[in-house]
Amino acid sequence: MISCSFQPWNFVAPVSAAIEEGAERFAMTGMLGLILMAIVEIPVLAVIIASILETRRNPRVPVLFLGAFALAIGVSILGIAILGIATKFLVPQ
Amino acid sequence: MKGITRRSFLKGIAGLLGLLSLSGCTELRLPWSKSSETKGELIDGFGTVANSQDRWAYIFDVGACIGCRRCMYACKQENNVPDTISPLWIEMFEMKSELPVTGQPSEEDLKGATTSYTESPKEGRWYLSAQCNHCANPPCVKVCPTGATYKDIDGLVLIDYNKCIGCRYCVVACPYEARRFNWWKPEVPAERVNELVPLRPVGVVEKCTFCVHRIRRGKLPACVEACPVQARHFGKLSDPDSEVSKILNSNRGFRLLEELGTHPRKWYITRGEKWLE
Amino acid sequence: MDERLLQPLLGSDRTFYIIAGILLVPIGWFVYCWVLQLTKGLSVTAMRTPVGAAMGVYITNFVFFVGIAHGGIAIAAATRLFNLTRFRSIARIGEVLTIVSIAMAGLSILLDIGRPDRIFHMIRYWPERVGWSPLTWDITVIFTYFALSLAYLWLTIRKDLFLCATRFPKRRWLYKALLIGYRPGEEEEIERLTWWLSLAIVFLVVMLSGGVVAWLFGLISSRPGWFSALAGPYFLTAAIASAIAAVIVIAALLRKVFNWEAYIQPQIFRGLGIIVGLLTLFYLYLTLAEQLTFRYAGPQAETTISDMLLGGQLAPIYLPTLLVGFLIPALWLLIQALRPRMFSITATIIASMTILIGFWVKRFLIVVPSFLRPYLPFPTGTYSPSWVEWSLMIGVFAIAILLYMLFMKLFPIMEVSEQ
């Protein structure tokens, strides 16, 4: 747990630089999540678009699918909201 | 399969990937990716204004510390820490000098370290304090799903107690075990309350704030003031005349768990005479 | 339309009400315990920090349920993408398992949160945090997976609902509502759509259980034992193995109860049993790799975790789980597949059930040990779930079973229309 910091004398400038470096690394981490979500969701999106294009001869089917998808997400979010409100009366504020 | 051809599908995918890589090249800085890193001027709950030029640093002198724990209790009093938070925001370890100091000590090594010592200073022992290091690359801020924990523009890692949902992922992510969770409803007697520090509800996380309500008003953190042997120092590295600048310029020091890349702001020096006497 | 396949929907069988009544006991107790936890805070659990476990049974439950949520789509996808038609009859059994499991996974998370009244913050601050927090990634992918799976189930059940609308005039209103926009002959287009959806969902299986759920743990360098590149494949293998084991158990149970021997052939169990056996053995290989890496020249941190599991306070649970929970049943499943005369569905069920329980315990042993021995020299912690935690956990399982039964009471769990 005790690692050696490189420590010449007159060290304040490198110490500050170390803090800057840390801050930079931190800032870049936000990119990682976005890239990851893109890697996960873009292929899914592509496949969904492909399925819609594939069935465009019968436009009801993709509409049904999109409707079900949106409804599922909507209901999930609503469910979370309701549970949040319901527990509000029990959790000490 | 009729309908969409394999070729057009693959073309579509290639196009999407191209778009993605293009945006990556331009160093995508989406507006929402910054909101946990910077937070305007007024800070909720603390009523202070941060200055982005400040570079706070904390120095702990393991050579001077006698393990009296006055810092722990000064912190408790200053920050409205309830009795149900245990251990306190600061933790003191009594360490045996002849045993190796390792991260994640084995049971053997642990026999040389304890948090439950009753008398101090003891011969052949030295004292290590741990509290939030306000890391420059804090893992706790990264994992917070609501942004309740955030890094302010002057580098302090703070918590918005109204946003915290108590998932404890930040508690898990901190390698220094610096964060505390309110398992019980916190009670602080009215006469003990410090008006400058917000009271926390049950089910949220709290931790050392470097006494943000004091340092941004030109005072020192409570633990630094309380120490009877001047084992603690605090100030701005951005000020070349500050105590911390002068000390770091003339003393070798180390940080805890440096290899994890958290870039903590707390340095440990061995200036005082107690060190390995 | 075969009447026997519709047996769960026909009339009110006394057994159904008895079982439902029995389930309402742990569910009622669950409600009481949850109210207790909400009013008193999470202090009623055995979780503590920094000495002790910050997360415990609830998170184990979460990972477990997300894992078995893949059973449905794994089989449905295999049927559609690879034309393994012999598994088709149990496809919907698995799909319903998926929906119920995801819901239970969400419930398990809610139980773990310190301030469940603020749970909506996770939605509200989603845009800000989606780049940063593995928990936010988790919500994103779980929502996507859930929505796709639910849409998939709905689209494929419609032709059966059409038949049910005429067969059960009393519930016509329900079926008609779900049959919105139905046109006979839409099946062909739906087949094409669901082919693509299978592809998307299979990809999400990897990115969910072998992805974001695994990375909730694997990316956290402050927890030795968790921090590992192996987390992705490790969790994925566990998920699919436990998922298919769960499908085996449920399918076998339903087959017995409703006398569906003709529709759910033994070959199905043999085939699924082989997959479970192979995946479980693969999981043991990954465990070997993990422990070897911890022990050979590993940093103190990892070696300490390994010591805890192989020789310390957790060894009495860890070693039997590996041996009795995984190795023996997996070997049996493969032996009986290689020697058809030794094959029996009962043995398959017992082996699968053992493996399923084994995976729950194993997840516990992944989540908890890394908390007990922090980097800094705090005292080593212990964690033994409190009665509230056990009650809530059992309650979640009871709710899952009841939801599944309710589905079966209202909708056909087997495909009733001819292809």
**What is the DSSP code string of C174-225?**
HHHHHTTT--TTTHHHHHHHHHHHHHHHHHHHHHIIIIIHHHHHHT-TTSTT
Q: Please judge whether A60 and C200 are an interchain contact, meaning their C-beta atoms are less than 8 angstroms apart.
A: no
Give C280→chain A minimum CA distance, Å: 26
Whether residue A3 is contained in a domain is answered as: no
Q: What is the DSSP letter of B126?
A: E
What confidence score (pLDDT) does residue B38 get? 41
User: In this structure, how many other beta carbons lie within 10 angstroms of the beta carbon of residue B252?
Assistant: 16
What confidence score (pLDDT) does residue C78 get? 76
Domain span including residue A21:
10-54
Q: Is C85 on the interface with B (CB under 8 A)?
A: no
A70-79, B28-37, B57-66, B99-108: range with lowest mean pLDDT: B28-37
Cα separation, B145 vs B159, in Å, equals 13
B-chain residues near A56 (CB < 8 A): 3
Q: Is C300 on the interface with B (CB under 8 A)?
A: yes
Per-chain mean pLDDT for chain C: 92
Q: Please judge whether C221 and B139 are an interchain contact, meaning their C-beta atoms are less than 8 angstroms apart.
A: yes
Note whether ipTM > 0.85 here.
Answer: yes
pLDDT at B23 over 60: no
The residues facing A2 across adjacent strands are B256
Cα separation, C273 vs C332, in Å, equals 9
Q: Please judge whether C136 and A33 are an interchain contact, meaning their C-beta atoms are less than 8 angstroms apart.
A: yes
**What is the model's pTM?**
0.91
Give the residue from C99, C143, C207, C212 with the most A CB atoms within 10 Å of its CB, the best one to mutate: C207
pLDDT at B32 over 50: no
Q: Is C285 on the interface with A (CB under 8 A)?
A: no
For residue A64, give the 3-state DSSP assignment. Answer: helix
Give the residue from B258, B262, B275 with the most A CB atoms within 10 Å of its CB, the best one to mutate: B258
Residues 6+ apart with CB under 8 A from C360: C60, C61, C64, C242
Asked if A36 and A65 sit in the same domain, the reply is no
How many distinct structural domains can be found in chain A? 2
Query: Apex CA B171: angle with CA C38 and CA B208, to 5°?
Result: 105
Q: Are A36 and C219 in contact (CB under 8 A)?
A: no
Q: What is the DSSP letter of B118?
A: -
Instruction: Please state the rounded mean pLDDT for residues B35-40.
Output: 40
Task: Give the one of A2, A16, A42 whose C-beta lies nearest to B256's C-beta.
Answer: A2
User: Which of C376, C387, C321 lies closest to C354 in space, CA to CA?
Assistant: C321
Q: How confident is the model at residue B34 (pLDDT cuts 50, 70, 90)?
A: very low
Cα separation, B71 vs B89, in Å, equals 10
Higher pLDDT, B12 or B201: B201
pLDDT in tens, B205-236: 999 999 999 999 899 999 999 999 999 999 99
For the segment(s) C3-410, the CATH number from 3.90.1150.10, 3.40.50.300, 1.10.1060.10, 1.20.1630.10 is 1.20.1630.10
Cα separation, B82 vs B169, in Å, equals 22
Q: Which two tokens stand for residue B9?
A: 């599908």
Residue type, C177: A
Q: Is C147 on the interface with A (CB under 8 A)?
A: yes
What confidence score (pLDDT) does residue B96 get? 84
- Taking only residues 160 to 219 of chain B, the set having a beta carbon closer than 8 angstroms to any beta carbon of chain C reads 163-169, 171-177, 179-185, 201-205
Q: Number of residue pairs across A and B with CB atoms under 8 Å?
A: 115
- Element spanning B205, H or E: strand B205-206
Q: How many helices (H) and strands (E) does chain A have?
A: 2, 1
Q: φ and ψ at B235, to 5 degrees?
A: 175, -165
Query: Apex CA B182: angle with CA B268 and CA B262, to 5°?
Result: 30
pLDDT in tens, C166-195: 888 888 888 998 888 888 888 888 888 889
B-chain residues near C136 (CB < 8 A): 145
Nearest residue on chain A to C199, alpha-carbon basis: A47
Q: Please judge whether C192 and B169 are an interchain contact, meaning their C-beta atoms are less than 8 angstroms apart.
A: no
Task: Give the one of C35, C133, C150 whose C-beta lies nearest to A68's C-beta.
Answer: C150
Every domain of chain C and the residues it spans = 3-410
Residues in chain C with pLDDT values less than 50: 419
Whether residue A2 is contained in a domain is answered as: no
Give A32→chain B minimum CA distance, Å: 10
- Taking only residues 133 to 172 of chain C, the set having a beta carbon closer than 8 angstroms to any beta carbon of chain B reads 133-136, 139
Task: Give the one of A31, A60, A79 whose C-beta lies nearest to C183's C-beta.
Answer: A60
pLDDT at B6 over 80: no
pLDDT in tens, A50-82: 988 888 787 888 888 999 999 999 999 999 999
Per-chain mean pLDDT for chain B: 83
Q: Which chains touch C (3 or more CB pairs under 8 A)?
A: A, B
Q: Please judge whether B145 and C133 are an interchain contact, meaning their C-beta atoms are less than 8 angstroms apart.
A: yes
Query: Apex CA C71: angle with CA C57 and CA C116, to 5°?
Result: 35
Whether residue A93 is contained in a domain is answered as: yes
Q: Regarding the domain delimited by B56-269, which CATH topology (the fold level of the hierarchy) does it fall under?
A: Alpha-Beta Plaits (3.30.70)
Asked if A39 and A72 sit in the same domain, the reply is no
Nearest residue on chain B to C134, alpha-carbon basis: B143
Distance of CA C190 to the CA centre of its chain: 27
Instruction: Please state the rounded mean pLDDT for residues A23-27.
Output: 91
Q: Are C210 and C236 in contact (CB under 8 A)?
A: yes
pLDDT at B167 over 50: yes
Asked if A48 and A70 sit in the same domain, the reply is no
Q: Please judge whether A34 and B30 are an interchain contact, meaning their C-beta atoms are less than 8 angstroms apart.
A: yes
Q: What percent of chain C has pLDDT over 90?
A: 68
Give the residue from B248, B250, B266 with the most A CB atoms within 10 Å of its CB, the best one to mutate: B248
Task: Give the one of B33, B137, B248 whose C-beta lies nearest to A22's C-beta.
Answer: B137
Q: Please judge whether A30 and C132 are an interchain contact, meaning their C-beta atoms are less than 8 angstroms apart.
A: yes
Asked if A43 and A74 sit in the same domain, the reply is no
Every domain of chain B and the residues it spans = 56-269
Q: Number of residue pairs across A and C with CB atoms under 8 Å?
A: 137
pLDDT in tens, A35-55: 999 999 999 999 889 988 888
Residues 6+ apart with CB under 8 A from B48: B212, B213, B216, B217
Q: Please judge whether C148 and A69 are an interchain contact, meaning their C-beta atoms are less than 8 angstroms apart.
A: yes
Q: How confident is the model at residue A9 (pLDDT cuts 50, 70, 90)?
A: low
What confidence score (pLDDT) does residue A82 get? 93
pLDDT at B109 over 60: yes
Task: Give the one of A40, A57, A76 whose C-beta lies nearest to C211's C-beta.
Answer: A40
Whether residue A4 is contained in a domain is answered as: no
Distance of CA A61 to the CA centre of its chain: 30
Q: Is B102 on the interface with C (CB under 8 A)?
A: yes
Q: φ and ψ at A58, to 5 degrees?
A: -120, 85
B-chain residues near C192 (CB < 8 A): 1, 3
Q: Which residue has the tokens 């310390």?
A: C312
Distance of CA C162 to the CA centre of its chain: 30
User: Which of C190, C250, C96, B60 lies closest to A61 in space, CA to CA?
Assistant: C190
pLDDT at B98 over 80: no
